[in-house]
Structure 1
């Protein structure tokens, strides 16, 4: 907790310092607000000029400012006043798609310090038009890019991409309609994101917020609605990790996962706090930790997470997707004071870019904690949890038994993309745990609204499960609510 308070204080001092810098109106540099003049060169000239003068603030007032890629530099702060819209060009060649950086973007920064984008204005990437124009160029053979289901893999520009930057503040703004990940902060330190709105559902892979191998980060008071993972931690570099991060008072909606660690997890995550957040209308899991690439996950604390109309509540998974010589680990995860409601129907139905229609049959899945043979998920505590399921699973539609042979027949799928639906039918309706040790369930309630043919909880190869004050509410089934194999259970 002391470490998080230090991050808040550092970022608060940074915010006060940058507000005292010289201010420059965008119009001073000939930047036009008519929505048709391409301002890329003039905006970049303004940024360069302010940077060369030792720093200051570039202020955009009411209007539409059309631009391609601009690079934010040290000690330069962009303020978008209410009514100011930074509009992305629809011409793919106005973006930095050929430069040797990880990802093209409308606004990017590389090794910059003391930078910010603040205000009540908007960044609009016009992502649908940009993406389809890029697809057109790929089809014509002008741009080389690998297509995945007719989606370009690497050239689509995001909204913001900051790499190896220090003392970064993003606050107040709205970011919408990008062609790729909305905002990515890669190996940045001392980052604060506060009071922003993300509304990006116009194309595939619209992650709302990606924090990649960053250190000392606070994300607060923000609303994120995205067609892909809403709030996502990643680790692309096996020598780095996400560390000392807090996400507090945010609301997330996604046609993938609400709050997710992974999937790319080469290095790992340590000391991450997820406090008082809400997730709704989310296709996959409200909360996910996936380490299929050798990364080490430790000291994760989730408190007061409320999830409504989400496909799954909790999914923790170790795998061996890309790493063949190193297995990932998950150790010391606490999830407490959580409430989740799981629907019988598709939770993101009706959104522009829904999650995929699954290859069924599968009844509604339980929460899942799943290690791999020989590598347990270790020291997980679920405390003061209530998960409400629809129940009503039909054994004639999809069936999974709980006899030892039935449990042994569940495939490990250790090199598959980690999603709770991969196994089709699982043998429990509330919680399924396999390959874990030192698991604690305290005051956990599982409720099924209708009768379910499966038991509430199934443990398989769990080396110590301590259960206290457990409740199972399901019509027509008063016993046989826990099944286990190769498991030691301590009832309190």
Structure 2
């Protein structure tokens, strides 16, 4: 992957030199920093002039500048100076009469940038009020309006809530040093873009639902580093909507994530797939769902995934890996060649994101703490997965009075083949540490599992697995035997196991 990113960095250096040749200050084009005037035309005129003149920096100086939808064009660096705030218009009609445009858009452009250290403010609370007014008086149509989901939540559909940045089919992109806050939908959507550098950005958005911090959709050659995300939905999310597309050659490092969904996730949209994804040194905290979620449920391929150095505190789940099938006319995808190493996660007994403005919705059934899991479906197995140097500390407190599923009836655990992938999707499980089903070539080395408080369940269950190697798996304590259950497991190897009981610790069915 090094040659790819060398190419990206060379492109960035060349673009920076070109962008610094001339500065187009939006004030010179009539923009007013009063926090009231809509400056869309002034900002767009500056962008158009810079693009037609061969490129340059469009400068947003210190001050509060309101804007509607603006289009970034080839050769333009939209630069937000220190103390500059680009404020999104709070009038929903400014985003279009039907489907809402994003605030900052670009399509089929190249050598474009948004740089800081200023701020983009979506003003979500005020915009949402205007959306509700339009929905009530009928000037905005919405099929989801006044419909409640299973958690009793009511929300306008996503197409009626503007994203803040949306780039499509663009090349040579820099997003650097900016702060982005207060969106109503995905904060950033980069779709089928190539050669991107995203560095040292700060994203905070907990105003409403669907607030993914960043979505990379079928993108290639991306470097995302040194950034912070505090959002109501997934923090860093990779998706694939194009059956012929891929997320490929993605490098993510040195990021901090707080999420009311999952911190790092790939695959809730997984039509094409994901290849050569590297994640290093991420810190996760107060996150409702998984620290790491890897999923293919729409027929896509996942392979060559390397994740190392994950520290997660007060996070609902450590690792969730899922191969499913929710498209009736599409064959299941493939999931293989996954390496996850140097991970330490602390899973609490309580709700990790309690108290945040937009909490993740609780499960609608009684349950104890969910284990990490690796699962395929009958006939289509997750394959070649290595977990090494993993430590997970669970909050414990499990009670049979809360929920109980007998380990003697593993065949009754629902498959949920077509369901939305989530770490809680199977309901109460008879294991507290790891649940692995329909998976081949599973290797666990130097894996340490422990819990505080009480726990009555088996630590790990492996069901329908061909090729299982456990090397130095440590379970600190167990209330009862067996500690590990192997059900329909072939070609297993257990070495240097450190389990609480000398006899009866492993049950082979």
Q: One fold, TM greater than 0.5? A: yes
Pairs within 5 Å for 1:313-324: 313-324=318-329
Secondary structure (helix, strand or coil) at the match of 1:181 reads coil
Is 2:140 the partner of 1:143? yes
Is 2:242 the partner of 1:245? no
Structure 1 residue 11: deviation in Å?
4.6
Is 2:437 the partner of 1:434? yes
Distance 1:300 1:97, change over 3 A: farther
Is 2:169 the partner of 1:164? yes
CA distance in 1 between counterparts of 2:3 and 2:378 reads 35
Structure 1 residue 61: deviation in Å?
1.2
Deviates more, 1:388-397 or 1:365-374: 388-397
Q: Map Cα deviations across residues 371-401 of structure 1 (whole Å, 9 max, x no partner).
A: 0110100000000000000123111221111
Distance 1:491 1:97, change over 3 A: farther
The structure 1 residue matched to 2:104, chosen from 103, 107, 131, is 107
Secondary structure (helix, strand or coil) at the match of 1:422 reads coil
Task: Look up the match of 2:307.
Answer: 302
Structure 1 residue 158: deviation in Å?
0.9
Q: Map Cα deviations across residues 436-484 of structure 1 (whole Å, 9 max, x no partner).
A: 000000000001113311111000001111010110012545x521002
Is 2:177 the partner of 1:184? no
Structure 1 residue 42: deviation in Å?
1.2
CA distance in 1 between counterparts of 2:181 and 2:311 reads 25
Structure 1 residue 419: deviation in Å?
0.9
Is 2:331 the partner of 1:334? no
CA distance in 2 between counterparts of 1:350 and 1:90 reads 27
Structure 1 residue 420: deviation in Å?
1.4
Distance 1:88 1:459, change over 3 A: same
Q: Does structure 2 retain, via aligned residues, the 8 Å contact 1:201–1:352?
A: yes
Pairs within 5 Å for 1:68-107: 68-96=68-96, 98=98, 104-107=101-104
Is 2:149 the partner of 1:152? no
In structure 1, the gaps of 5 or more residues are none
Q: Does structure 2 retain, via aligned residues, the 8 Å contact 1:340–1:387?
A: yes
The structure 2 residue matched to 1:485, chosen from 467, 484, 487, is 487
The structure 2 residue matched to 1:351, chosen from 356, 363, 379, is 356
Secondary structure (helix, strand or coil) at the match of 1:303 reads strand
Q: Map Cα deviations across residues 228-258 of structure 1 (whole Å, 9 max, x no partner).
A: 0010000011110100000000001100000
Structure 1 residue 360: deviation in Å?
2.1
Pairs within 5 Å for 1:20-419: 20-96=20-96, 98=98, 104-147=101-144, 149=148, 150-153=154-157, 154-403=159-408, 406-419=409-422
Q: Does structure 1 retain, via aligned residues, the 8 Å contact 2:199–2:227?
A: yes
Q: Does structure 1 retain, via aligned residues, the 8 Å contact 2:5–2:221?
A: no
Q: Does structure 1 retain, via aligned residues, the 8 Å contact 2:8–2:221?
A: no
Give the RMSD, CA atoms, in angstroms.
Answer: 1.4
Task: Look up the match of 1:13.
Answer: 13
CA distance in 2 between counterparts of 1:67 and 1:32 reads 10
CA distance in 1 between counterparts of 2:412 and 2:258 reads 35
Distance 1:83 1:141, change over 3 A: same
Distance 1:15 1:383, change over 3 A: farther
Secondary structure (helix, strand or coil) at the match of 1:50 reads helix
- With normalisation by structure 2, the TM-score equals 0.93
CA distance in 1 between counterparts of 2:208 and 2:9 reads 37
Distance 1:172 1:152, change over 3 A: same
Q: Map Cα deviations across residues 84-130 of structure 1 (whole Å, 9 max, x no partner).
A: 0000010011114547xxx6211010111000010110000001221
CA distance in 1 between counterparts of 2:475 and 2:12 reads 46
Q: Does structure 2 retain, via aligned residues, the 8 Å contact 1:127–1:180?
A: no
Task: Look up the match of 1:472.
Answer: 475
CA distance in 2 between counterparts of 1:390 and 1:7 reads 46
CA distance in 2 between counterparts of 1:152 and 1:142 reads 14
CA distance in 2 between counterparts of 1:108 and 1:329 reads 34
Q: Map Cα deviations across residues 276-321 of structure 1 (whole Å, 9 max, x no partner).
A: 1111111110000121111111100000011111110000111111
CA distance in 1 between counterparts of 2:212 and 2:67 reads 22
CA distance in 1 between counterparts of 2:15 and 2:283 reads 27
Structure 1 residue 152: deviation in Å?
2.0
Structure 1 residue 328: deviation in Å?
1.6
Q: Does structure 1 retain, via aligned residues, the 8 Å contact 2:58–2:78?
A: yes
CA distance in 2 between counterparts of 1:365 and 1:352 reads 24
Secondary structure (helix, strand or coil) at the match of 1:459 reads strand
CA distance in 2 between counterparts of 1:17 and 1:146 reads 48
Secondary structure (helix, strand or coil) at the match of 1:335 reads strand
- With normalisation by structure 1, the TM-score equals 0.96
Secondary structure (helix, strand or coil) at the match of 1:439 reads strand
